[in-house]
Amino acid sequence: MKSRSFLTALLVFSLPGLLHADWTVRGRTLEKGTRKPLSGVTVFVIEDSNRFSVSDETGRYEIILLSSGTVRLGAVGRDIVKPAPLPVVLSPNDPAPTANLYIESITYTLPQLVITAERDKVSKRVIPREELVKVAGSAGDPLKSIQSLPGIVVASDNSSSPAIRGSAPEDNEFYVDFIPVGYLFHMGDSYSIFNSDLVRDFTIYPSAFGPEFHSMNGGVIDVTLRDPRKDRFGMKLNMNTLETDFLVEGPVNQDQSFYLSGRRSYIDLLLPKTGKLGGGIDYVQFPQFFDYQGKYLWKTDPKNTLSFQTGGAGDRLILKIREDSDIAAHDPDMAGEFSAGQNYHSQGVVWTSNVSKDVVNKLAVSQLMYGFDVNGGVGNAEALIRSYYLREKLTFVPVPDHELSVGGEYVYFTMSLDIDAKLDFGSEFEPDRDFTSAARRQYNEDLYSSDYSVFAKDRWSVTSRTTVIGGGRVGYEDYLGGVFTEPWAGLEYKLTEKTLFTGGWGRYHQYPDGLQMIDTFGNRDLTHLKSEHTVAGIEQKLPEEWSLKVDGYHKDMSDLVISDDAKNYVNGASGKALGMEVLLKKQRTDRWDGWLSVSQSHSTRRNDRTGQEINFRYDQPVVLNVVGNYKLSERWSVGGYWRFHSGSPYTPVTGTYVDASGRLRPTYAGTNSSRLPDYHRLDLRVDRKYTFDRWTLSAYLEILNFYNRKNISGYTYNADYSSRKPVYQLPAFPSFGLRAEF
């Protein structure tokens, strides 16, 4: 009886395991590093190849086994590296274990691309992010890389703000995801305000842009940020020579997703609290910056999407100009502590409605707060500007062969100014600036303005080869006052399937600089600055993913501002800019990509009262860019960027005189009558990618100014102007970066 009882007990405890019918291994096949699902992968049991499963579109697989024990899983499929065997243990306590296989792709999964029909190719360049983040010297910042494109120049190595086709950086208009932003580059212009991973692409309209954009005399930079990822939650961490940042993103549910990023510079945390910068200048607060972006995407139904967006940035520095410095010797009131800061914060919502196949409406409501402050020996100035935007664009096809875009924009802004400072009234025609002899003035008021505009544009496909585009913008603003009618026309003619001719013409206007428009410091009776743009170009597709684009342009500018003894400022100048640009580009196929750009241009300004004509301060007649990136393997890549440009204009000191107060003052040659030596520089870059099961690590090393060219940005003079010495730009300098993606 005892033996029978023992046997019964043994069967009771053992039978569930012996008769278990659900010995199953299930899991997912995921790309190593990114954890993106891999479909079509055959997962099999190495000990019994008849037991296998093929992963579905979500990467899921399931294999039913006959018994418990330890098995090894293998995997085969197209474009994958055969993984090492994965041991899996099945037991009565765990009869259905989960086993995910992390598999290395032969070609890593590309970032998600959104394909859209490219319209209006007149004076337009669309540059994907992937082509710019690897440009040597950019530290992975795609917006900083735009200086490698034709028609774009920058002031120095410390600047990335683009001067486009004979206009200044302040003459450009910037949009991000259909919403205006405060500024694109941090103080000092070394970095853009965006996390580089968020930029999908950007479109540059160097001149003669369409009426759907707010009118400016320069160009338009339209940045598109990507949507948040919807497959899973993820995180990215980045650290480079100057800053560190993070990005978190992922789905909330099937129809909603988000991302949030933040960044801060950290050099000020590593350096001593105060220190010397050279030239008689000390830092009290080393330059620092921060920025952030956020997006919440909600697909309310198959035809409508709401995008809630936020972003902001801030910059701050405090310097001390010592009394024994040459700066203080030339301009005594400049001595002392000087601080400057700026910041902006914006929020907005964009509603995109795909009403039908041929009708799309986009509506944006946003607000932007921008502030800056400057405090020093010459005085103090603070400003807070709040702007409220309403922007809409409706695109539809009213009749065959016509695509019509209509819309408008309303901007209301308030500006609070508090100024108590010495300001030297002058313009770009007068090189001398002296704060010590300037009168101190005060201004404390709130200003208000409304700006209304509507536009229409019609794309008429006249024939299969010819498209005529016409339209215009009508606007009114109530600060300086005036109604503006700005016609625009474009032409696209397809000579062959691979050859396209484009042409465009338009009229534009913009506000003068801020202080020039207010009482006390400026003139409320100024009119708007005006310009007329004409462009023509030809695009040629070449074999093996090569392309060639040649553009010519001409700008006429009028009602530019000059200084005036009685009214501070008046509209009394004009300008011209003309040039030719060539872009030879190689799209990445297997191993390499790059481009060669050449620009020949000339830009001048003319004082219409005196007849004085000068070179524009951003005039660089010849600019040559050579960019190349080569993929050595799936893990290694290298790149280089060489840039040459003609020397920038400057105004030399030719002598001295003693003014009425007994101070020694300089005399100058003609404004911008001389040029600095020609500029050239080579940057090199090496990238290495490390792939782990659940995350990846990317590292790069850049050598800026590889052959240590001593490029000159200007000259400084000693206290009595008897000698000068050059101010050199960036020397040979290593830069590094690490990015972890989870």
Task: Quote the CA–CA distance of 45 and 87 in Å, as a whole number.
Answer: 10
Rounded-to-integer distance, Cα 329 and Cα 451, Å:
45
β-partners of residue 559 are: none
Identify which of 106, 50, 94 has the alpha carbon closest to the alpha carbon of residue 635: 106
The pLDDT of residue 446 is above 60: yes
Rounded distance, CA 253 to CA 247, Å? 19
- Give mean pLDDT, residues 74-99: 92
Confidence of residue 259 (pLDDT cuts 50, 70, 90): very high
Q: Select the more confidently predicted residue: 505 or 19.
A: 505
- Per the prediction, the chain carries an average pLDDT of 90
Section 85-94 average pLDDT: 93
- Whether 516 shows a pLDDT value over 80: the answer reads yes
Collapsed DSSP state (helix, strand, coil) of residue 233 = coil
Q: Which residues touch 529 (CB under 8 Å, ≥6 apart)?
A: 217, 509, 510, 511, 512, 557, 558, 559, 560, 561, 571
Sign of the C-alpha dihedral computed for residues 430, 435, 439 and 442 taken in this order: positive
CA distances from 522 to 89, 340, 589 (A): 81, 22, 55
Write down the number of H helices and E strands in the chain.
3, 44
Tell me the pLDDT tens digit for each residue of 110-132: 333 333 344 677 878 877 778 88
Phi, psi of 177 (to 5 degrees): 50, 50
8 Å CB contact between 501 and 537: yes
Q: Which of 13-27, 549-563, 680-694 has the lowest mean pLDDT?
A: 13-27
Q: Tens digits of per-residue pLDDT, 167-181?
A: 999 999 988 899 888
pLDDT at res. 109? 38
The sign of the CA dihedral 269, 275, 281, 285 is positive
CA distance 420 to 381: 6
Q: At residue 228, does pLDDT exceed 60?
A: yes
pLDDT at 238 over 80: yes
Q: What is the pTM of this model?
A: 0.88
Residue 522, pLDDT > 70, answer: yes
pLDDT tens, residue by residue, 579-634: 999 999 998 777 889 999 999 999 999 999 999 999 999 999 999 999 999 999 88
* pLDDT of the residue at 297: 97
For 412-432, write each residue's pLDDT tens digit: 999 999 999 988 778 899 888
pLDDT of residue 525: 93
CA 654, 659, 665, 668 dihedral sign is: negative
Q: What is the pLDDT of residue 6?
A: 38
pLDDT digits (tens, 9 = 90+) for 162-221: 999 999 999 999 888 998 887 788 876 667 888 888 988 878 999 999 999 999 999 999
Residue 669 has pLDDT above 50, yes or no: yes
User: Does residue 352 sit in helix, strand or coil?
Assistant: strand
Tell which residue, 389, 391, 346, 390, has the closest CA to residue 370. Answer: 346
Q: What average pLDDT does the segment 47-67 reach?
A: 92
Which domains are delineated in the chain? 16-103 (2.60.40.1120), 125-225 (2.170.130.10), 234-741 (2.40.170.20)
What are the two backbone dihedrals, phi and then psi, of residue 609, each rounded to the nearest 5 degrees? -80, -45
In terms of DSSP bridges, do strands 359-376 and 379-396 run parallel, antiparallel, or are they unpaired? Answer: antiparallel
Alpha helices in 345-496 (DSSP H): none
The candidate with the shortest Cα–Cα distance to 502, out of 466, 471, 532, 472, is: 466
Q: What is the C-alpha to C-alpha distance for residues 607 and 564, in angstroms, rounded to an integer?
A: 12
Residue type, 656: T
User: Average pLDDT of 148-175?
Assistant: 90
Residue 9: is its pLDDT beyond 60?
no
At residue 1, does pLDDT exceed 60? no
First to last CA, the chain: 63
